[in-house]
Each structure stands twice: as structure tokens, then as C-alpha cells.
Amino acid sequence: MNVENDITKIITEEQICLNLQGTSKHEVIDELSQLLYDNALISDIAEFTKDVLFRESEGITGLGDGIAIPHGKSDYVLKTAIVIGKCHSPVVWESLDNQPVELIIMFAVKNVDATTLHIKLLQQVAAILADEDKIKQLKASQTKQEIMALLANR
């Protein structure tokens, strides 16, 4: 199965953080950018973060239900990827329900993938997040393995 049809092909347990310490949107995006960098998925944390924050300024990425899907299309992305973070404490984030977020699914997208792979990945994430039981399970998950299993069993 190729990446376009299987989100688990571009996310590994190493790309999941169960205890983000950031207390603001910017801090959380920084932490997740560091996770991308540590996994050799981006080449420059500061520049990628700047690209994500630029995208944030263009529209709301908080979906409601405590979930946000920030994304950066950037020249600093080495490989299109997703990282997932669960916040230690809910973080204020512009969202459709005006509630803070606790689960962040952040996309790092190579500019060349911006109109193809990015859209397919967004569709896969949207399908997962359309299932209220799946959302509850993701938020309640205690291990990286639980999250990976939920993503695999769309």
C-alpha cells in the first residue's frame, strides 16, 4: 500500500509525543517542529516554524473537540510527514468551538507535495476525525502504540 492510501506509512512512533510541555500555540508548534527535526524530516526548525505560523495567520486550524491540525508547506521540509502531540495541559488555540486543544496533528509538507500528497493526507486525517469514537480513543490513548493502532484501523 502506498503513502497516499495509508497514513501509517508516513508516521512512526518516533513522530508521536504524548506529553507536550508547551503552554502556548507557539511553544507547542516549536516542540513538534523539534520532533520533526529530530526525525530528519525538516532541515531548519526556526524557518519551518515560521512557515507554520504564517499558515496559522491565514485561517483557523483548531477543528473543535480539542483537536488542531496545523500545517506548514515549506522549502525546509525534507520529507512530507505528520507528527502527533498530546498536550500536558490544554492550550489556547483559535478553534471552531473556541475551546483549547489537547491533541495536535501537525503536517510538514514539501512544496512539491502541496497539491497532491498533502490533500490525500488531509482526507485520511479527516476520515479518522469524523469518527467520534476514534477521537475519544485518540485523546484517551496512553501509549504511542495505541495511537498507531488507531491510525492503522481506519
Decide: pTM greater than 0.85: yes
Please identify which residue in the block is written with the cell numbers 493502532: 149
Q: Kindly give, in sequence order, each residue whose CB lies less than 8 Å from that of residue 136, ignoring residues fewer than 6 positions away.
A: none
Alpha-carbon torsion (13, 19, 25, 31), positive or negative:
negative
10-152: CATH number: 3.40.930.10
User: What is the residue extent of each domain of the chain?
Assistant: 10-152
Nearest to 68 by CA among 50, 52, 46: 52
Per-position pLDDT tens, the chain of length 154: 355 557 888 899 999 999 999 999 999 999 999 999 999 999 999 999 999 999 999 989 999 999 999 998 899 999 999 999 999 999 999 999 999 999 999 999 888 766 777 678 878 888 888 889 999 999 999 999 999 999 887 5
